[in-house]
Structure 1
């Protein structure tokens, strides 16, 4: 990769006030000089309130370039500004993009220097500037710009190109986002723009896969659904919709059929092994020493700027946790485990884990539950390390009357039903859910000027909490009524928008694209092809041969 221009490098890496302001508004500056307009819905609601920034979109992503010159008296925008009215180019760019993004006033000096830099080093900018000169010379001639790929011959002396001729789109982007000592790291300094780049790359990869599925329906055994007899049996009585249906196979990760099959696999395990005993939720900690150590290689970096590092460290921690639970038998001999990966609306990945233990080693009494699951504040003097961990990770809220704007509040009520009630001992309610021991012992934790007691503590295991220095919620779930809810919860799939489509034909691919949400943290995880779901032992789905 070529080194960046000196001006851009200074803006991206130094602590000058001008550079800091530029990085805070880097997406706005990038939009000012974009050649195309972005056709995507950016989910801004996810960034309301305190917390790190996360770039999140919903629906499809399109880029529109338009004509070289404005049509019908419309003001010039995007690529047209490289050709039309260049004297007022900077003012129009700031006015157009600033209005769309709701951005603060941009620095005119930075805008001018960015323009000069692009004119000097960007071949696309130079091509559009050349078109501007041609239009001035021949105003009555129709012109078009054709962008061609590189015509250079392959470098046969390069061992990398000779050893591997082709690379997948995912492999290329995954290679490029890595940090290497021998290469520049200007990409990794992009902050919010780098998050946007990650999401765009994932959209391109996913669109390519969906295009292949749409144009090869026969390979996924979808042809039988287009047969006239089968169509009539399914209620497709309108002739013009037959052979116009597009189905998304269960082999596509994240599709509704994929999540439904994972749910059925979990239920099959439950039918064979019975109910699971423990349900764990493990959330990444952006302040893990491994993450902070990697961020030191590039100055001025924060965890939300390097979500690929967060994803890789969380994967290692998750494997360590599963090794502790399964190989080291932390709660006893584990015979089955099922987990799924999800992503918080503010970015951090987390895992939902179900564990089946060997029945002979499990005591179903409430005393056994109290020995492995705590829902109380520890003694600060006797266990200072545990007290600090509980204070950082296992306190819910404050919510309710203390903070009605908390994200868990729905209709002025906490959706997680906090704060709980004080209980002298652990019991099970009529739904089979555990009501943990929360004694009124006067111990409190101060959080945002509120003194939180045992009623606001999320159930945890002291050993795991200290071992992994992260939020690990441990719940007892060995009851039939809780199982179906838990399995649906871990197999519900990613967030989707509510949408009503009135059409005679079924296009599951379009419905998936219209309803999906993609965040930078999820994209970072998927680029490395880390598992979204895992189960052990595996479940084999037997094919069913119908008569005829």
Structure 2
């Protein structure tokens, strides 16, 4: 996880701990082979159980008994079990793992018969046609890390495995509303622009929005809601999901400026009419909808 925190509120030294982020939150998956010889995060699963346990205990302030409990909880996690099964391959330098980011109805048709439902592994140089549709590819060795896009269904289980211990999917753009058939929302191609928070057709949405999904996840119920028991991790999760929703709304506004008719607003057009000819000086203005909460039009 990468984030720029407010040091005055998140220092854990004075006052009440508050998770306050500046800007965006991003989640990344590193290469399969440790860069410095010290495995961490995803790389731990490719070792045997005892070695994995020993590596985890190298981090400070870690309780041995809690680690055993957590490893037991994640023993049924689809991603964890898949990664552990790959350690039999030996050195992973020339391999790549393709994580299935598609959560469509007939997802299994994109899989090889011998692979699991969440990931597959290929030797470098294999034809890419066999990879999953809209997959996240993690290489054995690469010059950069792979970023998990927030609109993918695997974003939540990969970023917060303790809240999704079985590897179940988080929010994705194809969650049908009550009374809507899954066949009505599952298409052949992904059009993320139409599925972003804020998109709405004349007939209304037939899918669950990101905001509606997380409102449901945060509800207090008669049975225990695992997420609400997360304490500081809950704080991080709430902030992350809020930024995730705001980012999707901003992206929708950015990609739909023609519908908003931003060219009619004062700003860039006025600069051009005044004789400015240098594009880098004029810049590009993004106009927010009046329905965007906290925006200039909404505040007025």
> Which of the five TM-score ranges fits, normalised by the shorter chain?
0.5 to 0.7
Separation of aligned partners in 2, 1:229 and 1:152:
47
Separation of aligned partners in 1, 2:274 and 2:86:
56
What does the per-residue CA deviation read over 1:253-308, in whole Å, with 9 as the maximum and x for residues that have no partner? Answer: 223x347x53xxxxxxxxxxxxxxxxxxxxxxxxxxxxxxxxxxxxxxxxxxxxxx
1:43–1:57 Cα contact (<8 Å) kept = yes
2:267–2:285 Cα contact (<8 Å) kept = no
Separation of aligned partners in 1, 2:30 and 2:13:
37
Partner of 1:249: 288
**Where does 1:70-149 land on structure 2 (aligned, <5 Å)?**
70-71=34-35, 73=36, 75-83=38-46, 87-95=50-58, 98=60, 105-118=61-74, 120-133=75-88, 135-136=89-90, 141-149=94-102
Could you say which structure has the higher helix fraction? 1
In structure 2, list runs of 5 or more residues that go unmatched.
Answer: 108-175, 182-205
1:205, CA displacement in angstroms? Answer: 0.9
Separation of aligned partners in 2, 1:185 and 1:117:
16
Partner of 2:219: 178
1:241, CA displacement in angstroms? Answer: 6.0
What does the per-residue CA deviation read over 1:77-107, in whole Å, with 9 as the maximum and x for residues that have no partner? Answer: 22122225764434433545x4xxxxxx110
Separation of aligned partners in 2, 1:250 and 1:55:
29
Separation of aligned partners in 1, 2:215 and 2:268:
44
- Identify if the C-alpha distance between structure 1 residues 189 and 235 changes in structure 2 by more than 3 Å, giving closer, same or farther: farther
- Identify if the C-alpha distance between structure 1 residues 141 and 227 changes in structure 2 by more than 3 Å, giving closer, same or farther: same
2:253–2:289 Cα contact (<8 Å) kept = no
1:45 equivalent among 8, 23, 32: 8
Separation of aligned partners in 2, 1:45 and 1:237:
44
Separation of aligned partners in 2, 1:140 and 1:163:
45
1:220, CA displacement in angstroms? Answer: 2.4
C-alpha RMSD of the superposition: 3.5
Separation of aligned partners in 1, 2:94 and 2:85:
14
- Count of aligned pairs between the two proteins: 206
Q: Secondary structure at the match of 2:95?
A: coil
Q: With the length of structure 2 as denominator, give the TM-score of the two structures.
A: 0.57
In structure 1, list runs of 5 or more residues that go unmatched.
Answer: 1-37, 99-104, 263-548
Separation of aligned partners in 1, 2:53 and 2:94:
27
Structure showing greater Rg: 1
Q: Secondary structure at the match of 1:143?
A: strand
Separation of aligned partners in 2, 1:144 and 1:250:
40
What does the per-residue CA deviation read over 1:360-389, in whole Å, with 9 as the maximum and x for residues that have no partner? Answer: xxxxxxxxxxxxxxxxxxxxxxxxxxxxxx
